[in-house]
Chain A
Amino acid sequence: MISPKRIAVVATLFLALLVPATSFAQAGSTAAPPQFNDTTEAERFHALTEELRCVKCQNQSLADSNAQIAQDLRQEVLDLMRQGKTDAEVKQYLVARYGEFVLYRPRVEPTTWLLWFGPAVLLLIGGFVVAGIVRRRSGNRQSAAVADEDQEW
């Protein structure tokens, strides 16, 4: 039996379907490029989104990716920027939700000391080795200065 309640429900659903798709749409609203207030904001946005990783893509930055989630996150970043958040706060906001994976510049913490300081340590050790070699090899001061031009090459 068709009850009045059922008619009401169906009518509501029908009316809901008539509501313009834009209120539920995803592609249209976020595909439009963001309008920046000024170049400083644009530059800051670009710099920031280039340091953030698209969480779903195969190694692309938030700035470069066209994935839906990337578009949504870019909008989120812009909103946070306009709310007055600093770069660090924006990053922390995303890290709290997606983990450190989202940062292309890893944080300097004990788990990344090897990453950030390893090359410097390597350079230092290498420097000592080179110095050692040079010191050892320069013992023979009797050798004459290279006189023959030909020997330069």
Chain B
Amino acid sequence: MSPVVEFCSVSKCFGSKLLVDNVSFKLNPREITTLIGQNGAGKTTIAKMILGLEKSTQGQIKVKDNMKIGYAPQKLDFNFNMPLNAGSLIDILAPSRIGKEVSELINFADFDNIRKVDISELSGGQLQKLVLAGTLMNQPDLVILDEPTQYLDVTSQQEFYRLLKQIKETTGLTVFLISHDLFTVMKNSDQVICINGHVCCIGKPNEASNNLDFKNALSEIGFYVHSHDHVHNH
């Protein structure tokens, strides 16, 4: 199957600073691809280039035509003064709630209990769950999730990845994740891309424990591997 997104030698400069350097990769349909890297490595910029929010300075980005792309950003800086309850937020994020997984996503976000609560009164985790649920309920073909579980507790993280995999299997969703949580990445991704401005390594997650290049790449971006799938921050 042809890739959903393809980066061909893409570079991006901000002023004189080269943030993304000659990056090439493919997002295959029905796969979860995770981008890992240090802060400032260019992860969010790559996500924004897929969305068309940033233009590349060099190279070519091919995105499959007529695709519905969902996006849950890293910063949920809902710094506004608007009265909006959880129900209205979901109405905005997913105007036509479709698909079999809606009820499961509603349970995941604990929607029935917080439906009438103003979002300013929700915790970071509750808000993140709502945004994730709303993004997925809108049934995108490709979803880009920037640090989707940073405010979630361990149980919620597990539940989220279980749901994500289930939705991927039933709907053919392609997922592009940005994450720092390497343990979860290794467990749930089909493809991992290590980036530090340039692409350090691309591969299947289980290569981490065997492949020296992969270990070196992880080490370059600030992690080390010392046994099967046990990855730690420095």
A binds B: no
